[in-house]
Structure 1
Amino acid sequence: MNRTKKTIGIIFLVLGVMALALVIFIQNLKPDYKGKKELNGISESVSVYFDTYGIPHIYASNELDAIRSLGYVHAQDRLWQMELLRRIGSGGLSEVFGEDLVGTDKFFLSLGIDDASAESVISLDTNSKVYQLAEAYLDGVNQFIEKGQTPIEFYLTGLQKKPFQIKDVYNTVGYMAFSFAMAHKTDPLLTNIKDKLGMPYLVDLEVGVDANTEWIKNYKRKTSDSIQNRVVTLLENSLKDLPFPQFIGSNSWVIAPEKTKNNKVILANDPHIGFAQPSVWYEAHLSTPTYEKYGYHMAGIPFPLLGHDRKLAYGLTMFENDDVDFYYEETNPLDSTLYKTKEGWEKYQVFNKTIKVKDGKDVSFTFKKTKHGPILNGIADQVKGQRPIAMSWIYTKVENKVMDAVYGMSHSKSLNEFQAALPDIHAPGLNIMYGDAEGNVAWWASAKLYELPDTTNTKFIMDGSSGKQEISHYLDFKENPQAINPPWNYVYSANNQPDSIAGMLYPGYYLPENRAKRIVQLLEPKNDWDMAAIQNMLLDVTSSVDTAIALDLIESMDISQLSQDKSTLLSLLRQWDGSYSLKMVEGTVYNRWVYFFLKNALEDELGEEMFQQLLETHMIKRSIAPLAAKTTSVWWDNIRTKDRIETKEEIVKLAFEEAITSLKADLGVDTTQWTWDKVHTLEHGHPIGKVASLRSFFNVGPFSVIGSREVINNMEFSFDNSGFYKVSSGPSTRRIIDFSDIENSMSILPTGQSGNPFSPHYEDQAEMFIHGEFRKMMMNEEDIKNTSKNLLIFKAK
């Protein structure tokens, strides 16, 4: 008996020691939000006050000390995110996640982001303030890598921490630039549709510019063959497994004093980015005697992409201009090392790259490049064929001065200084939104725009050998779309088509007018905007376009032939105001009906694979409304029925019947239970959350969520045959800067400030975000010091 007790005692002792060791291990993984630390390179002590939500307020005697401290605290909350972001452009994901990401690494290496970054670094002025601040930030990051806690993801993947270099910053910017582009999903697909079906099918989808849509108005101050589909597959496969979200769309509006209650400018912005954990933005407030900024930082980038101070504020949306073009190249039939150009035969450039693979052998591969860009054939096994396709991307074509632009924006003190920084943005194309304490409001579409011959349609793969479809010249920045202090007293962007200054259309992949139309509808009549009204507007979930589409579909239905429950549903849709709240059924029925309408109209001609690819593009969003309004279309006929030609009425009726049948199968026969909360959900996924046993620990959610795609509170999803709408992207922050009360400006993040799952700030804003709540962006030094419970002091060594 005594031996048994002794054995049990030893077991409990061992378990206790193991539990204690685990607690100590976990405690050592948490970020340090208080205490004192030595930080090499600072001239005097720096105080970092962490507010209620873990946002650092950094007080330093100079900007170099402040940004070095920012690098440290940014890394302790987001090092894993920094690590993944720098790896995308350099082809380093397979080293972390194994052979499944080899195709993605091949694709991004062939794009030339890493090579372009290396070239940019060589030409940097090491004496410039931009360079010195960037190096100070990276020094802070690297000091955390050397001295700080190792994030748990590094233990789980077996990855070793390595110092960051300035090239990593450029690789991160390069991924961001490519993430904005939509041409890679669209151009090869449209070419395939044209070659397979003919232009009338694209005409009926209205893929061109719509002169009747809601355009952003300018205002100047008076001063092929099957290979194409394989290209689409390559691009989709390369992007779908990325462990970091892509940039999608955005809303922003800036209201002049004449339309606000307190006669001061108000700026609102909610960039739409793929939801993930951690979320994209890291908030930080830096204050020195000569510089102050409350900014939103991407992991590994020293300067904020969104920011404000007491003098000015700025935000961004995606311009959606076309900065990616595809070219057919012609290989010399007698010498495969040569390709045809207008000037004659030129040699393909050949590049050899090696990818490190976790738990596997290194993968070496070779790709060719023309003057246009990399040849996509051969980058992945599925892209075969004799007709080479090159991808031309403006990001790698011209000098990269994006970092100078971001620095200039974050250090400007006036509208003119701010505007002077914008021509340095060449890619990605951004709508830059601006407001200031002096009462100025402005919008600039910032990108390196270029002109092609008039007969060129950049939505299709072009001829690379003739020299007739090349860039003729780059536009001067003054020809970019823009509006500065327009007489209608506001500026806005919802990724919609901008009006022209240069006397030409700007090719792009603009979003439909849905959000733009709603923004203008709300902004135009009201002249007493305040913080509360702007909050409500950011949370608006109403679509007047969806109601118009629903009515077009209903008009094609013979209600007399329907059962009572189906007639009731149509009556609900006829009276629907287009809102997407959780307990309404109209949105559920509408979206299921639209999916089957598109499927029955398009899939027989396109085939299942191309149909699904089309659903992933911005273009299909613009096509739904005009297609639903058409009485005649080449798409109505089902090519699988050889003996008859179908009508729109048949397509619409069949789609409605299939929608109702599928809803009954999924949600039951009681139509009152078909509420939006049952089908529309949001989960913030962490890369390691893909492992089922770790999902609940790393992922945040799922939550039922209001909103839908292309309403102001844009909760984006793709249609598929599941009938359930898992939100993929949406507001990466909701942010309001009111110059009548700058210190009480408001914001929210989708999950939390920290990417460390052991931090109390990993998901402390998630419920607030879902419920439409906001929190203060603190700038008052006295309030910050009086309310912050955590103080971290960096001491000069």
Structure 2
Amino acid sequence: MAIVYRDEYGIPHIDAINYCDAVKSIAYCHCEDDFYTIQLLLLATKQKSGHFDDWDGPYLDLICSFFDIPNQYDLIKMLSNEYLALIKSYIIGVNLYAEKHQNEILDKTIFPIKEEDVIIVQHLMEIIGIQLDKPYSFLKDSSEISLPTKQGSNAIAIGPKRSATKHALLAISPHQTIEGPFSFYEVHVVLKEEKCEIHGFILPCTFVIFMGTNFNIAWGSTASYPEMYNIYRVDVIKKIGSGAFFLLGDEKIALYEVNYRNYTKLYGKIPYPIFKSFYRSKLGNVISINGIYYLIDIPMLGKQFGFQQAYELSLCDNIDKVKKLLRRTQYSYLDFVCIDKFDDILFAHCSKERVKDDPKDHYINVLPQNKIIEIEKDLFYNNQNMIFLLNPDCQYIVSVNQSPFMVTDTDTYDCKYKGLIYRKDNSRSKRAKDLIHSHNSIGVKELIEIQGDTKIIFPIIRGIDFTSLLKLDSNRYPSIGYLIEELKQWDGYAEKSSRGAAIFALLFERYKKYYRYSKNPDVIKIAEEKELVDCLRWVSKKLPKKYSLGDIQFLKRGKKKLPIAGIPDSLNTVRPYYYKGELIVEECSAFRMIVNLHDRISLTCHPLGASSNEDDVNYTSQMDMYQKNSYRKLKTMDNYKQYIKGYSI
């Protein structure tokens, strides 16, 4: 039994007997607010998501088929009875909503949902969310092999000696898409039997707080970049009667051709066929790009389940238990920043990388065929290869996707670490550290300012060296000379009133076609003069004179549109797409959260609103707050019970 209290912003505050009751209510509430997205993910397990959505759906279907996610159901063997019980409660909640709202169902064949549906969907979410899908560039009709782009998030902890409150503080800001399958949803629950209160954010088709607080600890995570995948060039042999194969020593590795056939409906009406072909083998999938074959190895596919770890993390009550959990699970792809009620602060770099005979091979984008033998060995570095940093002398931790050895004011390099080691700061980490050092102490006010900061530090922005941009001769290029001079005078702040920010935002958008990433995050792409000139000529055609960033960049949902500050790789990150002369925000701080455990303060803000239903008042109710870098303060459950009429689920 649980009672739900919806506040003025539509956030569900759930007063539950136990975790299972809470999960049933979380499922029902999330369906009330975004049943469409939940269904799209469930449909992807049947490769039918694209039949109803032509934006995310086709890719979800293809990835689910390509990774053979439905046949990873053996994951159930690693799930605890407690987590399986929560899955059953989630199923009850979703099926209950579907039964009561038949008119909202996209495809009745997926209901009632079953245990395996939720497990498959959550693993699919995990695969895409931690970017394991990115090496498969052929899925996007690329003409060449493409390596994962480096996405970002912010998690900053302040220790008691540097804190204005004299107690530990945590600021979280994940940078993800703000609509669709990876949009975050805020939840607040009180569990009577567990004597626990949890506040934070979940993802569609999940039910445990991914980032947030239980008021004993608070935690955030950012993408780490261990060696998540390996790409091998292979010589495929095709013989009549023998099929396709490649040789590994004297062994023939058989290849089984898969012809993926599906369709989507453009604009919900026009059928559009989707055809892809690839090979499966016992060592991984093989794809062909321009007649060259590549085998792509994802070591942890089907071997880890991060949402169960999130459940266990939500019940930890001190940093020591967090460390033990992370060592035991050795989850591969996230860096964690945590604080606890005892004012400890912790950074954990989690990785589980395949052992390689030659350490240099960890940095090579495409390995030769003979190295595939390492897949058959299936050996991994143990949890002693993880990095833990507890209560650093500088009394802060800044984890914003830079090197795990550079999260404080000193290099914490451990020469014993094996695998993909990267060593550099990035623009956001440098800026965050500069801002922290600019204050005698850091309180909630200062963390709010840091979260909303828009300045970028030249010349390296998101792995691209723009030194050549600052050296361009405006006299040599008279048609774009005025843009060159305006960029040289720009102070790097991406405020709405900034003309320089508008120029750079459009230039960066255009420069996407020149992106080339390396497996090693420390490798920098040098922006060439001819590339920059091409981009600036495009900008000159798209940006009216005297227009500033606020005239072209917008946070938009439905009919509401607000000018928004920020730029790629500022702490207040904004990653837009270009459409009809405007930059429309697609990715940004998917939520912002600041936690002070000692005073039970939890502040949050979402860029859009709690509901994805366009006719709901909370479809856009947080946009103005987000634009102004403002926050809402969580109240006690007793307060919500006193002033809000609840409903039972």
**Deviation string, structure 1 residues 325-357 (Cα, Å, up to 9, x no partner):** 222233345433433113522333566877587
Structure 2 equivalent of residue 737 of structure 1: 595
Which residue of 655, 668, 678 corresponds with 2:533?
655
Q: 2:286 aligns with which of 375, 380, 389?
A: 375
- Aligned partner of residue 167 in structure 2, secondary structure: coil
Residue 409 (structure 2) aligns with: none
1:413-562 paired onto structure 2 within 5 Å: 413-423=317-327, 429-452=333-356, 453-456=358-361, 458-465=363-370, 467=372, 470=375, 473-499=379-405, 500-501=413-414, 503-504=416-417, 506-507=419-420, 513-546=426-459, 553-557=469-473
Q: How far off is 1:622 after superposition? A: 7.5
Instruction: Give me the whole-angstrom Cα distance separating, in 2, the residues matched to 1:748 and 1:135.
Output: 31
TM-score, L = length of structure 1? 0.70
Equivalent position of 1:288 in the other structure:
191
Cα shift readout 1:480-514 (whole Å, capped 9, x = no counterpart): 23311111111121111223536356438999711
- Match in the other structure for 1:348: 255
Structure 1 unmatched ranges of 5 or more: 1-41, 190-226, 237-245, 378-382, 599-610, 629-634, 636-647, 685-698
Counterpart for residue 781 of structure 1: 637
SS state of the match for residue 544, structure 1?
coil
> Which runs of 5 or more structure 2 residues have no equivalent in the other structure?
406-412
Cα deviation 1:642-665 (Å, max 9, x = unaligned): xxxxxx6xx59x829x83x65554
Aligned match for 2:296, one of 391, 394, 402: 391
Between Structure 1 and Structure 2, the one with more helix by share is 1
- Where 1:82 maps in the other structure, the secondary structure is helix
Distance 1:73 1:103 in 2: 27
Q: Deviations over 1:624-647 (max 9, x none)?
A: 7x736xxxxxx6xxxxxxxxxxxx
> Which position in structure 1 is the counterpart of 2:88?
135
- Contact 1:401–1:424, Cα closer than 8 Å, also in 2: no
Cα distance between partner residues in 2 of 1:342 and 1:724: 55
SS at match of 2:8: coil
> Any residues of structure 2 matched to 1:723-762 within 5 Å, and which?
725-742=583-600, 744-762=601-619
Separation in structure 2 between the aligned mates of residue 763 and residue 511 of structure 1, nearest angstrom: 39
Partner residue, 1:254? 157
Greater CA deviation, 77-86 or 486-495? 77-86
Please give the alpha-carbon distance, in whole angstroms, between the structure 2 residues aligned to 1:260 and 1:375: 52
In the superposition, relative to structure 1, how do residues 554 and 302 fare at CA in structure 2: closer, same or farther (>3 Å)? closer
Q: Distance in 2 between matches of 1:469 and 1:448?
A: 15
Once the two structures are superposed, the pairs formed by residues 598-613 of structure 1 within 5 Å of their partners are 612=513
Q: Give the Å deviation of 1:476.
A: 1.8
Query: Is the aligned partner of 1:677 residue 2:550?
Result: yes
Q: State the Cα distance separating 1:396 from its structure 2 match.
A: 1.6
Matched to 2:160, the amino acid is P
| Greater relative contact order, per chain length (Cα 8 Å cut-off, separation 6+) | 1
Classify the secondary structure of the residue corresponding to 1:503: coil
CA shift at 1:563, angstroms?
A: 7.8
Give the drift of 1:404. 2.9
Question: Contact 1:539 / 1:712 at 8 angstroms: preserved in 2?
Answer: yes
| TM-fit CA distance, 1:732 | 0.4
Instruction: Work out whether 1:766 is the aligned partner of 2:623.
Output: yes
Structure 1's 129 and 388: CA in aligned 2 closer, same or farther, altered over 3 A? same
Q: What corresponds to 2:31 in structure 1?
A: 75
Cα distance change, pair 57–456 in 1 and its aligned pair in 2 (3 A) = same
TM-score for both structures, normalised by structure 2: 0.84
Equivalent pair of 1:252/1:315 in contact (CA under 8 Å): yes
Q: Is the Cα contact below 8 Å between 1:142 and 1:164 reproduced in 2? A: yes
Q: Cα distance 1:623–1:574, how it changes in 2: closer, same or farther (>3 A)?
A: farther
Distance 1:586 1:354 in 2: 47
**8 Å contact kept, 1:429–1:447:** yes
1:272 correspondence with 2:171:
no
* Matched AA of 1:728: E
Selected match of 2:567 from 708, 723, 726:
708
Take 1:364 and 1:51, find their aligned partners in 2: how far apart are those partners? 47
Whole-angstrom CA distance in 2 between matches of 1:99 and 1:293: 33
**Is 1:588 paired with 2:537?**
no
Partner of 2:20: 64
The answer to whether the 8 A contact 1:373-1:390 is kept is: yes
CA contact (8 A) 2:427 2:460 kept: no
Task: Name 2:100's counterpart in structure 1.
Answer: 147
Identity %: 18
Deviations 1:217-236 (A, max 9, x none): xxxxxxxxxx9953548x99
Query: Residues 181 and 294 (structure 1 numbering): CA distance in 2 closer, same or farther, change over 3 Å?
Result: closer
The answer to whether the Cα contact below 8 Å between 2:153 and 2:401 also exists between their aligned partners in 1 is: yes
- Mapped contact 1:265–1:738 kept (Cα < 8 A): yes
State the number of aligned residues: 628
Deviation at 1:72?
A: 1.9
SS at match of 1:285: strand
- 1: CA distance, partners of 2:467 / 2:260: 55
User: How far did residue 736 of structure 1 move?
Assistant: 0.4
Q: 1:122 to 1:665 in 2, by over 3 A?
A: closer
Aligned to 1:172: 121
Q: For 1:173-229, what per-residue CA distance to the aligned partner results, in whole angstroms no more than 9, with x for missing partners?
A: 33333324557656979xxxxxxxxxxxxxxxxxxxxxxxxxxxxxxxxxxxxx995
Aligned ranges 1:572-583 → 2 under 5 Å = 573-583=487-497
Other structure's SS at 2:604 match: strand
More strand by share: 2
CA distance in 2, matches of 1:667, 1:368: 46
Q: Deviations over 1:750-779 (max 9, x none)?
A: 11112222322222112221222211123x
Q: Which position in structure 2 is the counterpart of 1:339? A: 246
Deviation sequence 1:289-319 (CA, Å, 0-9, x none)? 2232113111111211112122111111111
Instruction: Give the equivalent residue in structure 1 for 2:212.
Output: 307
